[in-house]
Structure 1
Amino acid sequence: MQAKINFPTLSESAFLRYFNFAALYFAEGLAQGMLFVGIPAWMAMQGKSPSEIGQFAVACSVPWTFKFIIAPLMDRYTYLPMGRKRPWVLFGHLGLMLSIIAFAFVDDPLNNLNKFLAAAFLVSSFGAMQDAAGDAMAVDVVPADQQARANGYMQGSRMVGSSLSLVLCSWILNEYGFKASMLTLFFLVALITIVPIVIREHKGEKILPFTTGKASETSQKLQISNWSVILKALFNVFRLRNSLLVVILLFITQGAYNFFEHLLPIFAVKITGWTNVVYSQAFATADLIGGIIGMLAGGYLIERFGKKRMINIYFLLIVLLVLALNFAGVYWQNTNMLYGFIIVYRLLNAIAKIGVFAIAMQCCSKNISASQFTIFMTMGAVGSIAGASLVGPIKENFNWNISFIFFELFIGLAWLILQFINIEKHVAKIAELEHESTKSLVDTF
């Protein structure tokens, strides 16, 4: 059977790497679009209270802040004949599909909130697991000089997937009901799951547990099966100055973005007079445009001209864009102006994120890829929570102009932190630590 299934592998083909991770993030975006935007909007249309919608949002958000619990297990335990992280990716996809089915069959979901919230929590948990496994696989198999472009495809695909599910599954939700919408979502995710099933990490590995194949030498060398070595490696990596700076950068940028993106819909509704439906449509359109351009150009530009240089430019453009909004008060009620602003902002936001995530990926050790990258992303999630929590206090005490200036200051602080990150020095130090970890593991035996 192995001879019949002789596709190129992720380690052999740059195209397959880009295609594989674009597909994984597309599937992730499909679920996120409905969980974080589509279903809350539907609940609002059906007359559910802000408190009930907030409970749903919390149920979907909490699993993403606890990815750091599962990530060390991904580094410690795996089935090497199928790859280091691919078994976890497949497990995450399987769990995501089964949980979506369970979600679809919650009877009368709007009047059975406890089961509805529990099922949403389960879907989001497997979505978070799939995300952590996909990120770790990318750190393992994507060379440093391709990570920016890979992140472009990943983040862009997620935005496109989110937009697709918002349009298609929301339409089915309104026309045919909740069950039909979620079963459509299941079908789309199941279709994408074919990609990680047939594409292996390294040549000679098994497609599935019952097929022929064996663990690759590369995976065996990277795999650490000793908890003390894993924890020591994590401790040593996060003692490094640049690791801490990356953590701070992620915390500030994700906090700033979430602050502004919670502020923007309030601004659109109160000042421009938009409804939540109009805002959702504008947001979906902006994400579709931003996602496509991010895939086609975002990663390439960062890869071509350098991560720090391009992120500096994008930070500057974001600040100038919001500054222009600040001085355009007489046009705030112009729908076309705000629509254009949202599209340009989401495009710049998407490409800036691609660069920051590429830096975080390059600063990871392959030995503990799942744990380290997940900790990076978890700190970004904590920053997002902190950013959202600032919306109320700042808006209640300051006018719109000052509130926008706070966002510009947050981006300015992120720019300052970025200047102190030395990627090349950090990568060299990571290589030394990986060598020491491997030596320590050999000495143990």
Structure 2
Amino acid sequence: MLTNLPVLKESKSLRYFSFFYLYVMQGIPSGFALTAVANYLAAKGLSSYSVGSFIAIVGLPWVLQFIWGPIIDRYQFSVIGHRKHWVVLTQVLAFVASLALMMVNDPVKQILLLSLLFFIHSNFASVQDASVDAMAISIVPEAERGRVNAFMRGGYLLGIAAGSAGLSTILNHYGFFYAAATQSALLLFFTIITYIIKLDSADNYLPIFRPIPSANDVHFNDNPKLKWLFIQLYKAVTVKNSMKTFLQIAVVYTCLSIFIRGFSFHLIHNLHWTNNAVSVLQGGWGTIATLMVTLLGGYMADKIGPEILQGKVMFVIALFLITFSLLGSFWYLKSVSITGLLLFNFADPMFSVAAMPVLMLLCRKRIEGSQFTAYMAMVNFCDVLGSYFSGWAMTFASASQIGLVCGLIILSVMIFFRNRQRNILSSEV
């Protein structure tokens, strides 16, 4: 029966489905740790600095993805599917690490153990993410990348919704043990699906440790050397145009992270919202609408070009942060704060749908997996840095002041690079 299933390389619909659920799988632990648990800790009286430090510890392994990219590319070939062995192995290890979370009885009193276990889980999850990204960029045709990225981001959003809103409800009503158990069951289910899906019809289900080249795969033994991969990776990411493009993307992700962490903490500590209410709004309400907008964004990225879409989304994000932050004195009105949270839910996915294909276009052949993973590691670093910086900034500034500064920074970066580009074009003429 399994032999009749379609394979990734030959089925567009299977590619959309696979990268959608793979990102659902990645989003669930992220929503659980970075939203549900973080908001729970804030509601239990932990300081903004402590909550920010917890988020930074959990997110730290994602920053180190650039190390895993070349290793994954160095040993990318397998009889169960190129890079698939990395995905399956790390999914199994992430499942085991999730089971270990059930040792925590009181997240507040056992904050060090909680941080350590989430840190361990993040290590395996980050390698899984790097493997999936490398597999996506090698399998997905360029003409589909906008839409596939939309499905990936949409899946991640749905996973975050399940992890933040769903697991937060279980955490607050039944306890941390049952929330961790539910997460583990979901991870096991998705791991089984991953094992069943084939990348190529010639792939096997049972792995062997010494790959045997097939007649149809002339590149089977063409694994690049690790030293060569790191050298080429350094050259690729330090090209002037690549650095300029990524800098704009990094600024947006950092500012988004700074704002949402500060705003969430403000709602819980200053406006006395329950942590579950904030988690549900961040990950639950508006998810379907956000998914639809994300998929539309993927279509637009393929239609008008990701670079054009990125510029438009950057401007809208800057305008939103500035306007909403100027309304900070009205945040005590739930209608205003809820509207802001729901609108913010559109910001990250729409920007990602535009930015990810842009980064893919920068990636060079033979190191595309490593290079894209390096970009993702730097994007994750932006999120970790933003979370840590937000916790520090909240000790002396209000969330509305922080949001206003973030919006002005994004707008300034846009104006700077646009004027710079105009000057270059005019000098060439």
Give the TM-score normalised by structure 1.
0.83
Do the aligned residues in 2 keep the contact of 1:251 with 1:381 (CA within 8 Å)?
no
Do the aligned residues in 2 keep the contact of 1:80 with 1:215 (CA within 8 Å)?
no
Do the aligned residues in 1 keep the contact of 2:146 with 2:299 (CA within 8 Å)?
yes
Whether 2:169 is the aligned partner of 1:171: answer yes
The amino acid that maps onto 1:103 is L
Whether 2:243 is the aligned partner of 1:255: answer no
Residue in structure 2 matched with residue 100 of structure 1 by the alignment: 98
Q: In 2, Cα distance between the equivalents of 1:271 and 1:48? A: 13
Q: In 2, Cα distance between the equivalents of 1:347 and 1:222? A: 44
Shift of 1:31: 1.0
| CA gap 1:182/1:332 in 2 versus in 1, 3 angstroms | closer
SS of alignment partner, residue 202 of structure 2: coil
Residue in structure 1 matched with residue 311 of structure 2 by the alignment: 312
| CA gap 1:255/1:214 in 2 versus in 1, 3 angstroms | same
Shift of 1:196: 1.9
Q: 2:82 aligns with which of 64, 81, 84?
A: 84
Do the aligned residues in 1 keep the contact of 2:48 with 2:395 (CA within 8 Å)?
no
Q: In 1, Cα distance between the equivalents of 2:54 and 2:385? A: 19
Shift of 1:84: 2.2
SS of alignment partner, residue 5 of structure 2: coil
Q: CA RMSD in A?
A: 3.3
Shift of 1:37: 1.6
Q: In 1, Cα distance between the equivalents of 2:218 and 2:358? A: 23
Shift of 1:21: 0.7
Structure 1 unaligned blocks of 5 or more: 423-445
Do the aligned residues in 2 keep the contact of 1:56 with 1:120 (CA within 8 Å)?
no
Whether 2:224 is the aligned partner of 1:225: answer yes
Q: In 1, Cα distance between the equivalents of 2:414 and 2:133? A: 24
SS of alignment partner, residue 348 of structure 2: helix
Residue in structure 1 matched with residue 38 of structure 2 by the alignment: 40
The amino acid that maps onto 2:132 is G
Give the TM-score normalised by structure 2.
0.86
Shift of 1:82: 2.1
The amino acid that maps onto 1:171 is T
Do the aligned residues in 2 keep the contact of 1:74 with 1:88 (CA within 8 Å)?
yes
Q: In 1, Cα distance between the equivalents of 2:385 and 2:295? A: 32
Q: In 1, Cα distance between the equivalents of 2:157 and 2:166? A: 14
Do the aligned residues in 1 keep the contact of 2:164 with 2:282 (CA within 8 Å)?
no
Shift of 1:199: 1.9
Q: In 2, Cα distance between the equivalents of 1:418 and 1:298? A: 23
CA-to-aligned-CA distance 1:13-53 (integer Å, 9 cap, x gap): 11111111111100011111111122233344556666664
Residue in structure 2 matched with residue 336 of structure 1 by the alignment: 335
Alignment of 1:174-323 (within 5 A): 174-209=172-207, 217=216, 220=219, 223-268=222-267, 274-285=273-284, 288-289=287-288, 291-323=290-322
SS of alignment partner, residue 194 of structure 2: helix
Whether 2:340 is the aligned partner of 1:379: answer no
Whether 2:110 is the aligned partner of 1:149: answer no
Q: In 1, Cα distance between the equivalents of 2:264 and 2:316? A: 21
The range that moved more, 17-26 or 232-241, is 232-241
CA-to-aligned-CA distance 1:266-294 (integer Å, 9 cap, x gap): 45457755444432232123562464224
| CA gap 1:39/1:5 in 2 versus in 1, 3 angstroms | same
Q: In 1, Cα distance between the equivalents of 2:280 and 2:286? A: 10
Shift of 1:166: 2.5
Q: In 1, Cα distance between the equivalents of 2:215 and 2:320? A: 49
Q: In 2, Cα distance between the equivalents of 1:305 and 1:352? A: 15
CA-to-aligned-CA distance 1:45-98 (integer Å, 9 cap, x gap): 556666664554333121111112222210111343222211111111111111
Q: Once the two structures are aligned, what percentage of the paired residues are identical?
A: 23
The range that moved more, 408-417 or 59-68, is 408-417
CA-to-aligned-CA distance 1:344-399 (integer Å, 9 cap, x gap): 22213321122112211232234223321121122223333444455477667777
Q: In 1, Cα distance between the equivalents of 2:9 and 2:339? A: 41
Residue in structure 1 matched with residue 132 of structure 2 by the alignment: 134
The range that moved more, 130-139 or 116-125, is 116-125
Shift of 1:115: 3.6
The amino acid that maps onto 1:208 is L
| CA gap 1:346/1:61 in 2 versus in 1, 3 angstroms | same
The amino acid that maps onto 2:404 is I
Residue in structure 2 matched with residue 21 of structure 1 by the alignment: 19
| CA gap 1:69/1:236 in 2 versus in 1, 3 angstroms | closer
Shift of 1:410: 2.4
Residue in structure 1 matched with residue 427 of structure 2 by the alignment: none
Residue-pair matches, total? 420
Structure of higher RCO (CA pairs closer than 8 Å, 6+ residues apart): 2
| CA gap 1:100/1:387 in 2 versus in 1, 3 angstroms | closer
Do the aligned residues in 2 keep the contact of 1:9 with 1:199 (CA within 8 Å)?
yes
Q: 2:56 aligns with which of 55, 58, 62?
A: 58
Shift of 1:215: 5.3
Residue in structure 1 matched with residue 411 of structure 2 by the alignment: 412
